[in-house]
Amino acid sequence: MIPILYQDPRFVVLNKPAGLAVHPGPRGGPSVEDVFPQLSRRKDGPWLAHRLDADTAGCLVIALRKAALIAAQQAFAGGHAHKVYWAVVRGAPTADSGTVMNRLLRRSEKSGWRMVVDPAGQPAETQWQALGRGAGIAWIEFRPLTGRTHQIRVHAAGLGCPIVGDPVYGQPPAMGERLHLLARAIRLDLDPPVEAEAPPPEHMLAALRRCGFS
């Protein structure tokens, strides 16, 4: 069973492990949806209220009822969902904080698809703050104000410090190295609010400690 960070009659917030897809892909395989029967025996639901990349760990909101799903979708669309991510990046930004604003477009290539900065894309905005620095790496908190695919990964790379373990927007990972990206916290401004915080996954701890995390 995936650890539960928050639960009420409307929602469950799971601590999704890195490497687990949120729903089965074309080739099948394990996914978060495999545990849905354990979360609710209702015929209608549960549903994913949003999505995380398979390689991203942390807070994932699951709606247990259709009315809750609609309320969550409205919160995300209306800017009433507040998300915090932690990442360990290669190098370090030149400033201690800032905001990245651009437009992101999905582009298909022979090697696969990726998100690129393009005037024809959708607006993407992320606030960020450096929480600590270590030898050759930095610990950064990202607060996305929009919800574009791979937004934080692209914006980190745009700062000149791609996320550790990112093979798409950074350098090829070392053997066994995983993406150092955590959906640290989430809050939905509902009545009552939904709020949860995820601990750093095991594969990020050593790097975070090198940057001052304790």
Number of structural domains the chain divides into:
1
Whole-number pLDDT of residue 176? 84
CA distance 33 to 118: 33
The enclosing domain of 35 has a CATH number of 3.30.2350.10
Secondary structure class of 137 (helix, strand, coil):
strand
Range of the domain at 78: 4-210
Whole-number pLDDT of residue 204? 98
Q: What angle do CA 3, 144, 101 make, to 5 degrees?
A: 160
Per-residue pLDDT tens over the stretch 16-37: 999 999 988 777 789 999 999 9
Per-residue pLDDT tens over the stretch 52-66: 999 999 999 999 999
Decide if 126 contacts 99 (C-beta within 8 A): yes
53 is catalytic: yes
Which regions of the chain are under pLDDT 70?
Answer: none
Catalytic residue among 8, 44, 53, 191: 53
CA distance 202 to 98: 28
* DSSP summary character for residue 181: E
